[in-house]
Amino acid sequence: MRRYDGDVAVVTGASSGLGRRLAVDLARRGATVVGIARRQQLLDQLAAELRAHSPESSTVACDVADADSYRAALADVESSRGKLDILVAAAAVEAETRVPGADVDDFRKTMDVNFFGVVAGTLAVVPGMLARGSGVIVNFSSDSARAPAPGGAAYASSKAAVSAFSEAVAVELADRGVRVHVLYPGWVPTPMGLQAVERGMPLPPRPVRRTEDQIADLVLERMGSPAIELNASRLPVMAPLARAFFPKAYRKSVTKNSNS
């Protein structure tokens, strides 16, 4: 099991789901973790668990959609801890955006958290990482970026933007000691994943279902490697090819699954 003793890590979306799991597991593996999220009560519970494994760990209440506050929080971590080695950007929101019916503000709100939050965090920590000659950033995307479903246009668009941004930056920084990864976690029964099912989304096929344990192990064992993509499942990687070469069958499959 890979250790992170001496590393300083920031995890956004740390109050629940995969963000919380990765924050706790990083602390268990020796990192000093700062968990960032909006919900103070959940952060208080997280802080106690983090400190049980890593006494110097802490939490900060912050909305990553507020770029100024988020940048200030990251700057404070780097200043007070002397460095920032790892940024895991797990914060995200999801809401149904069917067309017609959706409003442009629904898209803006989703992009502010899911995309511009990722951009703000990445741009804030890269200079320090480059100065030290090392660093790791893991930005959460989604298989929805590869195979968008009806009703999920805002979420899929935001995650596709995260993928493009992260891959471009990863290539730009690869030879300078900073690794940027884009994570495709498949479907995980987190609160967000379960809410989507409750809204009527069919349970994804078994080959793309994963557990929090599986995703945490994937990230913590592979981040820092030359790989840009961290794929929990290979099946969605084929979606763009299916869409290009078998468009009618692909469209029928997506429509059937979204309405089933």
**Domain membership flag for residue 2:** no
- Encode burial over 12-44: b for 16+ CB neighbours within 10 A, e otherwise: bbbbbbbbbbbbbbbbbbebbbbbbbbeeebbe
**Domain membership flag for residue 70:** yes
**Domain membership flag for residue 183:** yes
Two tokens, residue 136: 């790791």
The closest alpha carbon to 197, from 251, 152, 255, 253, belongs to 152
How many domains would you assign to the chain? 1
The pLDDT value recorded for residue 187 is 84
| Identity at 89, one-letter amino acid code | A
Tell me, what CATH number does 95's domain have? 3.40.50.720
Query: Over the stretch 58-115, which tens digit does the pLDDT of each residue have?
Result: 999 999 999 999 999 999 999 999 999 999 999 999 888 988 888 999 999 999 999 9
**Domain membership flag for residue 39:** yes
Cα distance between residue 45 and residue 50, in whole Å: 9
- The model scores a pTM over 0.85: yes
Three-state secondary-structure class, residue 37: strand
Q: At what angle do helices 116-132 and 67-81 cross, to 10 degrees?
A: 20
**Domain membership flag for residue 210:** yes
The pLDDT value recorded for residue 201 is 65
Catalytic residues: 141, 155, 159
**Domain membership flag for residue 113:** yes
Domain encompassing residue 253: 8-259
**Domain membership flag for residue 3:** no
- Average the pLDDT over 30-52 and give the result: 97
Cα distance between residue 32 and residue 129, in whole Å: 17
**Domain membership flag for residue 142:** yes
Cα distance between residue 69 and residue 73, in whole Å: 6
